[in-house]
Chain A
């Protein structure tokens, strides 16, 4: 896949990572395109979650991790010593498998990051919260109870709230690690619909165990196996006519 530089959000070059002496990622090179959805699929332990956690340096939190290679976000090396990791994580937001709202009101959850950065004047907080909740397709369901605790929302609503919280600080990339695997089918569809809308503004990388979900929501799909990137191609090719036999075996349910 050849992309002009201006269309690349994350440029991963020869990335290897190991936990203590155990290699988890080996020589990953891939270009994640801007304002598209890229899905990472592969069997458990293939390194897909480890890979997206590299994109906002979440793995820094683990002592035994060593990383080699390079990751550029909009052409800037994210491992550069001048990079403020907190700043990086604002640009690269993340949503996890289990919704993790703070034990605060709905409104405060979304405003949390904005209050931390103090970049948005107080007078504009309210309108930014409304914007984020609307972008996360949650506004209509919560607009009359913004002061209520976020813990009273359903799982699907909580997950959309967490997405609203992530986009409130206007990141450029949104990382979704199994965002719908704890949700019922209808909530899952709502999240998928939301992903389709969000990609017009954000670059999205999604890790999913659900291959049909990857097929439904993504433009590009990367298949990882034992820490290696086996195939990275447009999603249609991966699911109808993959070029690598390993990919074929995995997407058709033959991987043993």
Chain B
């Protein structure tokens, strides 16, 4: 594809992409730090998640303002238009991933929470790894406009959902068997819930990638992603 005739428009789009990638990088780091902080009960690391949260919120607002300006002043068309729409949609997902990471970080350092790590250690570790990977892959697919990677991320979300169900099942039976650790079990539930939500947002981002590249809106169903709607009238 050729460059835009307008050099300033070209620069504007480039800086939108750069800001987007920077925001994505911060959010990815936030999820990774929140997960590690939770597993290792590292309060300092958890604190970094909260600091990043403020950055993420500020940068999301800035990115949306920039995209708004481009939309209003440049009237982008075709793939440029889809990029702007994609950035609006994805920045919301990123901001919410940040919120979920922050929620996870809030459990770190609470004494009753430490034992959660012991009981749910393996499954929680796996769930966290998967969630971090999902965010990383979705953002990677966005940056490279890689539809295959996006589709793979959508498919893999099923694994995250399965792990979440496992946490729900085991924490529910724990609660029934012994309510003495109620707080631990509930914390496991909440954290797993956040990770599952993070996976969903990564899936949304991946769907947006397909829209960016192919112009087809894919929702909730990988079958549509593989056979996009071709209604040309």
Contacts and interface: CB of A to CB of B under 8 A. Distances in A.
Interface residues of A, number: 22
B83 to A, nearest CB: 10
B75 interface: yes
B2 A256 contact: yes
A233 interface: yes
Contacts of B79: 248, 252
A193 interface: no
A251 interface: yes
B77 interface: yes
B9 A248 contact: no
Contacts of A127: none
Interface residues of B, number: 20
Interface in A181-199: none
A249 interface: yes
Contacts of A240: 77-78, 81-82, 215
Q: Which of B5, B78, B82, B233 has the most CB of A within 10 A?
A: B78
Interface string B1-32: 11111100100000000000000000000000
Interface in A227-256: 233-234, 237, 239-243, 245, 247-249, 251-256
Contacts of B215: 240-241
Nearest to A220: B233
Q: Interface of chain B, helix or strand or loop or mixed?
A: loop
B227 interface: no
A239 B216 CA distance: 14
A247 B2 CA distance: 12
A240 B4 CA distance: 17
Contacts of B6: 253
B1 A253 contact: no
B84 to A, nearest CB: 11
Contact of B78 (A1, A251, A256): A251
Nearest to B231: A237
Given A234-B233, A237-B232, A255 B78 contact: no
Given A1-B233, A234-B233, A241 B5 contact: no
Given A248-B1, A255-B2, 6 more contacts: A239-B78, A241-B82, A242-B78, A249-B2, A252-B79, A255-B5
Interface of B: 1-6, 9, 75-82, 214-216, 232-233
Interface of A: 1, 211-212, 215, 233-234, 237, 239-243, 245, 247-249, 251-256
24 contacts: A212-B75, A215-B77, A233-B232, A234-B232, A234-B233, A237-B232, A239-B78, A240-B77, A240-B78, A241-B78, A242-B78, A243-B232, A245-B1, A247-B78, A249-B2, A251-B77, A252-B76, A253-B4, A253-B80, A254-B2, A254-B3, A254-B4, A256-B3, A256-B5
